[in-house]
Amino acid sequence: MIIFAATAMMNANKGKVKYISASIALGLVIAVTAMAADKLHGSVNFTNSFYNTLTADTPPVPKKPRPLPKKQKNIPAVDSASSTGLPVSAVTDTTIASRQKDSFIVVRDTLKLKYSKDSLDAPIYYHADDSMVMDVPANKITLYGTSTTAKYADNELTAPGITFDQKNNLITASFKKDSTGKVIASPTFKQGDLITVSDSISFSPKSGKGLTKGTYTQQGEMFVYSERIKKIDTTSFYAYKARITTCNLDTPHFAFVSKKIKFINKKFAVTGPVHPEFEGVPLPIVLPFGIYPLAVSPRYYKRYRYSGNFNIDIQRLKINFKGDPDYSVNKSFKIRWSHSMDSKARPGVTFTANVDAGSNSFNLNTPNNPVLNFSNQLQSSISYSKVWKDKPFNINILANHNQNSVSKQISIMLPSVNFNVNTLYPFRRKEAAGTLKWYENIGVALNTSFANQTNFYDDTANAAKDIRPILTQIKQNMIWGARHSVPISLSLPPLGALQVSPSVSYSETWFQKKTVYSWDAANKKLDTSLNKGFYSAREMSFGLGISTRIFGMFGFSKNSKIQAIRHEIRPSMSISYKPDMNGKYFYKSQVDTNGNFRQFNVYENNLNSPFGPGKFGGIGFGIDNNIQMKVRDKKDTSADATKKITLIDGFSINGGYNFLIDSFQLTNLSLSARTNLFDKINITFGGSLDPYQYDTIGNRINRLVWKDKIFTLGRLSNGNVSLSTSFKGGDKTKQATTKKALGRGVNPMTGEQLTEEQEEAAYISNNPADFADFSIPWSVNFGFSFRFSQAFNRPLKKFKTSYYSDANFGGSVRLTEKWQIGFNGSYNFTTSDLGLISFSIAREMHCWQMAITIYPVGDRKFFSLIISPKSALLRDIKVNRTRYFYDLPSK
């Protein structure tokens, strides 16, 4: 590897450059001779750069030595600390010094570096596998070998042969053929994000301009071929007689052909007259110009700083024909913005944004997208957070947006601030030695939150004329609130098998308004009194938690397939006390003419919910279970090969008991269980047990159930069971990788979050050809949900149970290597209704896709036939045939 230009001369002067190739020995001799001649005369001349010296006809003529003056006065003193033994001034700004007797004669001389006009801004690094030929008269260097390289700044050229014309400041390269005439190597040029493979290339390292012939390059998802490409700067180039396509074959299935194209690297391309070609056959369709985005979505990126995407979609929909009584034109828009800040940009500071906002009618009017048609929620979030270095503080500032396209209500929270102080230990010594005292583990923290929120109803038609009504809504509906929490904890060492954790908590909430309801007997209506101001409420609690873990093992014989069953029990108990500090804010008021009363809190309808009433002094308890089984591993032939199978991931019961109330002291018992049988069937269960009895008219009485029925924990008032499973054929390893890639929700090439168009490919019911995985011969998925609840039926004088259940199913079958059929649907067993049922047929066509989708049931029946490129860049270039069928309401 050779370094030439002025840098190489300086390093060679210091003896730090090692030359490998014997073919450049002549250049070394010339360079060393020139430098030695200069040094003999007490000066170094940089007028000619090193690479000029390599190819110059004759070495530079050394200058005549400067005569020493006869007499020199005011000679400075010698600095004994100087490594040269010369005077300080001589060391810093002189080049020649001679000793005469006991004094120094110093001649001051300043180095003036002069570079030749053809000098480069940076050194060129080059390498040749075979040899290097120097043409001294022509000022040319040629590299030969299977792989030769030349690097200059961010330009890198790899080719079977490279020539550097020093006189014209030009680097050229071309392809290489074997004895049969077959091309075996081509020049590859890389500059920044641009990579090209060409038949020949020539470029100037000084200006950055270049010309290539027979060039292939890739811009985002676009593949470009051109007879000639002219590069004018680091970001722009022109192409002559070029084609652009998203097909990655050398002879693409389709392409857009134009005589002249301008490319802005990784952004977009602009063409003159352009026409499409299929299998090399031009179509008689010519557009006067074309603009092609070279990324799936407009993306901005600054290395080590930030990156993001920004999209604006504008929709104009005409319904029926002009002149029809139901003719209408709908205009809508949608804005999507995602932004992320690199963690290295400002350590401790993060800024993210995910904005999805627009017109209420945009989703509903998007064609061929039933998933989007039934989506009526738009949400946005912008977040800024900061963690102070070596400080216990951190802050998070949020702005949120929530929009319902059905009710047309828009809620905005701006700002939402969370300020936290991590746990501090005020009694701990700064330099603790030995074991800490118990009081040194007392920790205090602070959590503070503040939010401001408002909402309004979107009336786009009237807002365009007068926005003042919306501003009035924003002002009237604005509400704020704050909440502070000071947890105090004490970390104690384990007491044998028990872990003890005492705690104290103080909370305070700030409210904006008080609301008081009162019954107007004269007018028979409920009056509301609203007072705005600054109000606050407080709450304290004291607690002590105890937990432990119990293990049990049941073993089997060595010859048994089941080796052991392991049972883990995790019991926990807590003792807590909460005084009644908020009972004074609760009251009861009549609410209707039937004499019904309801309990209210004066701080209702605020941003933060009020504290609960009453005091609590009691215990909370719970127990969780985990059961695993150890069995012999059939896939491992070693003697002690076993594997663990989880039978029950968790089965828990939780409840509480309040000693300070006179009735209903025991709370409801909550049940939950979960398991994954054979790593295939996911089962979850949840329910609630009511431990108290009811009288004949449905009133709850203060008598426990097990006083009359010993073997029961209570009445199961509600519960739910869900089951889901899926099975697939084919190579499981490839399928697992694909599933993981889809689950990330980011572009694997850029690391950016997927845009909405890319996420549409994940919904098989929306665009099955995008989602179809032809490596899977078959797949089946099934899910089932069952729910029930009990309510007292007074006429029957007993509890009546209501049941709800539904199922969803789907699957696919690969008929051939290129054809696949799929289905998806749901069924509601409670109402005996079919949900959204779809059937699809997908055809794999390399860079194109074909999908036939049929929705035969539901309120919006339709079928569609779509043939389009797979690339999201060309998603609007498609053959689309869609028909909708609506069920008219009965008269």
Mean pLDDT of 66-75: 46
pLDDT of residue 93: 41
H or E element in which residue 234 lies: none
Q: What percent of the chain has pLDDT over 90?
A: 30
d(CA 294, CA 222): 6
DSSP state of 393: E
Confidence at residue 626, expressed as pLDDT on a 0 to 100 scale: 94
Cβ(105)–Cβ(71) below 8 Å:
no
Q: Are 782 and 811 in contact (CB under 8 A)?
A: no
Q: Please, which pLDDT band fits residue 560 given cuts at 50, 70 and 90?
A: confident
Amino acid (1-letter code) at residue 610: P
Tokens at 181, concatenated: 């005439």
Cα distance between residue 151 and residue 168, in whole Å? 18
Give the closest residue to 504 by CA, choosing from 594, 579, 440, 568: 579
Residue 478: pLDDT over 70: yes
Higher pLDDT, residue 697 or 14: 697
CB 847 within 8 A of CB 869: yes
Confidence (pLDDT) at 732: 60
Q: Determine contact, residues 42/35, Cβ cutoff 8 Å.
A: no
- Euclidean distance between CA atoms 671 and 651, whole angstroms: 8
Mean pLDDT to the nearest integer, 883-890? 64
DSSP 586-598: EEEEE-STT--EE
Q: pLDDT tens digit string along 264-299? A: 876 778 888 999 888 888 888 898 988 876 675 567
Q: How confident is the model at residue 374 (pLDDT cuts 50, 70, 90)?
A: low
Query: Cα 167 from chain centroid?
Result: 51
The answer, yes or no, to whether residue 669 has pLDDT greater than 50, is: yes
**755 alpha-carbon distance from chain centroid:** 11
Q: How much of the chain is in helix, strand and coil states, percent to nearest 5?
A: 10, 55, 35
What's residue 310's pLDDT?
A: 86
Q: Is the pLDDT of residue 88 over 60?
A: no
Output the pLDDT for position 33: 36
In this model, does residue 585 exceed pLDDT 90? yes
In tens, the pLDDT along 114-157 reads 666 666 777 888 888 888 899 888 889 899 888 899 888 878 88
pLDDT at 720 over 50: yes
The closest of 225, 229, 187, 193 to 209, measured between CA atoms, is 229
Question: What is the identity of the amino acid at 551?
Answer: F
Q: How far apart are CA 553 and CA 216, in angstroms?
A: 67
> Which of residues 92 and 303 earns the better pLDDT score?
303
Per-residue pLDDT reduced to its tens digit, 379-434: 899 999 999 988 999 999 999 999 888 888 889 998 899 999 999 999 988 887 88
> What integer pLDDT is reported at residue 486 of this predicted model?
95
Q: Please state which of the ranges 93-102, 424-433, 882-891 shows the lowest mean pLDDT.
A: 93-102
Strand partners, 242: 226, 258
C-alpha separations of 650 from 187, 512, 564, 769 in Å: 62, 43, 19, 40
How far is the C-alpha of 413 from the C-alpha of 481, rounded, in Å? 11
Mean pLDDT of 788-812: 90
Q: How confident is the model at residue 764 (pLDDT cuts 50, 70, 90)?
A: very low
> How does residue 208 score in pLDDT terms, banded at 50, 70 and 90?
confident
**Token pair of 397, please?**
């500032």
- Residue 301 pLDDT level (bands cut at 50, 70, 90): confident
pLDDT of residue 7: 32
pLDDT grade for 110, boundaries at 50, 70 and 90: low
pLDDT reading at 94 higher than 50: no
> Under 8 Å CB-to-CB from 693, ≥6 apart: which residues?
700, 701, 703, 704, 705, 708
CA atoms in the 13 A half-sphere facing the CB of 438: 6
Higher pLDDT: 686 or 154? It is: 686
Judged on CB neighbours under 10 Å (0-12, 13-18, 19+), 296 is buried
- Cβ atoms of residues 446 and 426 within 8 Å: no
pTM of the model: 0.57
Amino acid at site 13: N
What pLDDT band is residue 818 in, cutting at 50, 70 and 90?
confident
How high is the pLDDT of residue 35?
40
Question: Can you tell me the mean pLDDT for 440-446?
Answer: 92
Section 629-653 average pLDDT: 82
User: Pick from 812, 858, 855, 856: which is nearest to 835 by CA?
Assistant: 858
Beta strands per DSSP E along 72-231: 94-100, 103-108, 124-127, 131-135, 140-152, 155-165, 170-174, 176-177, 183-185, 188-191, 194-197, 200-203, 210-219, 222-231
Q: Which range in 177-191, 223-237, 523-537 is most confidently predicted, on average pLDDT?
A: 523-537
Task: Give the contacts of 37 (CB within 8 A, at least 6 positions apart).
Answer: 59, 62
Helix 6-13 / helix 25-40 crossing angle, nearest 10 deg: 70
Q: What's the average model confidence in pLDDT over 337-348? A: 90
Question: Is 70 exceeded by the pLDDT of residue 331?
Answer: yes
- Burial level of 496, CB count in 10 A (0-12/13-18/19+)? exposed
Q: What percent of the chain has pLDDT over 70?
A: 77
Average pLDDT for residues 51-73, to the nearest whole number? Answer: 46
**Average pLDDT rounded to a whole number, residues 786-798:** 88
- What average pLDDT score do residues 818-835 get? 88
Own/partner pairs for 515-518, CB < 8 Å, 24+ apart?
A: 515/600, 515/602, 515/603, 515/604, 515/605, 516/587, 516/600, 516/602, 517/589, 517/591, 517/600, 518/589
